[in-house]
Structure 1
């Protein structure tokens, strides 16, 4: 499913114009993106939780040369689906 498909479904189900549904979908995605960028978690009841985790710097190796390297610290985004979503997918 693409963003265009989401816009189409929002337009159909809410009975609003595609222009309005595009603005609505873009706004929701913008809020989600900005919230995650500042490091806040997002928990949507019945759907799941988006969480930012910090990975510390660690030692690794280049698989081609075998040389030791340092992998820089970084932030990663994880998603944990809710039990309701898991049950709906697996039923």
Structure 2
């Protein structure tokens, strides 16, 4: 079974396959992730054909219970990053 692949590992694979230095590949990987992050911050979506879609999901505000005091409290709405795998990715990992 393969270990967890991180940004450094992705950069090393790109450097090896495309005759780049590890530093150049790391800069490219960082740029890709920064672009995805910036797009999500601006409320956009990032769709990568054959891989999936990144988007910001809004969790509605709701009423919760403080477990110590048993009082009702309002939990404010929040934004969360989400990822939905494409059909082809789902098929690939079956």
Higher helix share: 1
Of 58, 65, 69 in structure 2, the residue corresponding to residue 61 of structure 1 is: 65
Cα-Cα RMSD: 1.1
Q: Superposed, which structure 2 residues align to 1:7-86 within 5 Å?
A: 7-86=11-90
- Cα distance in 2, alignment partners of residues 62 and 11 from structure 1: 51
Structure 1 moving runs of 4+ over 3 Å: none
Structure 2-normalised TM-score?
0.88
Per the TM alignment, residue 41 of structure 1 is displaced from its structure 2 partner at its CA by 0.8
Per the TM alignment, residue 56 of structure 1 is displaced from its structure 2 partner at its CA by 2.2
Equivalent pairs counted in the alignment come to 90
Per the TM alignment, residue 2 of structure 1 is displaced from its structure 2 partner at its CA by 1.2
Structure 1-normalised TM-score?
0.91
